[in-house]
Amino acid sequence: MTDVERSLLATLVDMEQEVETAARTCRRPDVISRVNRLRDLTASLPPDSDPMLLHCLQRHSWEKARLTLEGRGTEVRHSPSSPV
């Protein structure tokens, strides 16, 4: 895993935790800065990166991108409800 991919994974996990915490505390999640960070990191990925990862990130499929980065991409590719 590259440094950019590690940063992407950390940001995705952080965003998921923020959303979960916000849901438990009945407040609005602060995700704008994380989404902007994800966009910047996505733009810095080389063009020969994992096509599934690029696909998920470009379509803002954050959970699928996280699964792909965690090496659980087969769960994304073979999920019955997954259109990708």
pTM above 0.85, yes or no: no
Mean pLDDT value of segment 7-26: 95
pLDDT at 29 (0 to 100): 87
pLDDT at 30 (0 to 100): 84
Q: 19 and 30 in contact (C-beta within 8 Å)?
A: no
pLDDT at 80 (0 to 100): 52
Q: What pLDDT, in 10s, does the model give residues 33-82?
A: 999 999 999 999 998 999 999 999 999 999 999 999 999 877 766 555 54
